[in-house]
Structure 1
Amino acid sequence: MQLRYNFRLYPKPGQRAALARAFGCARTVYNDGLRARQDARAQGLPYVSDTELSKRVITQAKQTSERSWLSEVSAVVLQQALADLNTAYRNFFASLSGKRKGPKVTPPRFRSKRDNRQAIRFTRNARFSITAGGKLRLPKIGDMDVRWSRDLPSAPSTVTVIKDAAGRYFASFVVETSDEPLPETASEVGIDLGLTHFAVLSDGRKIDNPRFLRRAERRLKKAQQALSRTAKGSNHRKKAVVKVAKAHARVADARRDFAHQLSATLIRENQAVVVEDLAVKGLARTKLAKSVHDAGWSQFVAMLTYKAARYGRTLIRIDRWFPSSKMCSVCGALAASMPLNVREWECACGAVHDRDVNAAINILAAGRAERLNACGGTVRPAA
Structure 2
Amino acid sequence: MIILEFKAQGKNTQYQAIDEAIRTVKFIRNSCISLWMDNKGTGKYDLSKYCKILAKEFPFANELNSTARQAAAERAWSSISRFFENCKKKVPGKKGYPRFQKHCRFGKADAARTVEYKQSGWKLSPDKKSITFSDKKGIGRLKLKGTWDLWRFDKKLIKRVRIVKRADGYYVQFCISVEVNEQLTPSHSTIGLDVGLKEFYTDSFGNSEPNPRFYRAGEKILKFYQRRVSRKKKGSSNRKKAINRLGRQHLKISRQREEHAKRLVRSYRKKSAAFIVGRLCIKGDRFCCKAALF
Q: TM-score range by the shorter chain?
A: 0.7 to 0.9
Preserved CA contact (<8 Å) 1:21 1:73: no
If you compute each CA radius of gyration, which structure gives the higher value, 1 or 2? 1
- Deviation at 1:243? 0.9
Cα pair distance change 1:205/1:95, threshold 3 Å: closer
TM-score, length-normalised on structure 1?
A: 0.65
Q: CA deviation at 1:260?
A: 0.4
Asked if the contact 1:96/1:104 (under 8 Å) is kept, the reply is no
TM-score, scaled relative to structure 2:
0.83
Pairing 1:1-383 to 2, within 5 Å after superposition: 2-41=1-40, 47-56=41-50, 58-64=51-57, 67-98=58-89, 105-114=95-104, 116=106, 117=110, 118-129=113-124, 131-140=126-135, 141-152=139-150, 154=153, 155-164=157-166, 166-175=167-176, 176-281=178-283, 305=292, 308=293, 313=294
| Equivalent-residue separation in structure 1 for 2:126 and 2:103 (angstroms) | 31
Deviations 1:122-164 (A, max 9, x none): 1113354354151123223222122223224643211221113
Shift of 1:262: 0.7
Specify the SS of the correspondent of 2:280: coil
3-state SS of 2:206 partner: coil
Question: 1:328 maps to what in 2?
Answer: none
In the TM superposition, residue 104 of structure 1 has moved relative to its aligned partner by 6.3
Q: Deviations over 1:173-220 (max 9, x none)?
A: 222232213222244322232333322233333322211112112222
Q: Contact 1:159/1:174 (CA < 8 Å) preserved in 2?
A: yes
TM-aligned CA distance change 1:278 to 1:61, over 3 Å: closer
Q: Distance in 1 between matches of 2:3 and 2:172?
A: 10
DSSP-derived class of the 1:278 partner: strand
RMSD: 2.8
Which structure is higher in RCO with an 8 Å CA cutoff and minimum separation 6?
2
Q: Deviations over 1:94-140 (max 9, x none)?
A: 33334x98976423211113364411111113354354151123223
Give the paired residue count: 279
Give the aligned residue type for 2:144.
V
Cα 1:92–1:200, aligned 2, differ >3 Å: closer, same or farther?
closer
Q: Structure 1: which 5+ runs fail to align?
A: 42-46, 284-297, 314-383
Amino acid at match of 1:94: E
The answer to which structure has the higher strand fraction is 2
Whole-Å separation in 2 of the counterparts to 1:35 and 1:159: 26
CA distance in 2, matches of 1:178, 1:232: 49
Give the secondary-structure state (helix, strand or coil) at the position aligned to 1:125. Answer: coil
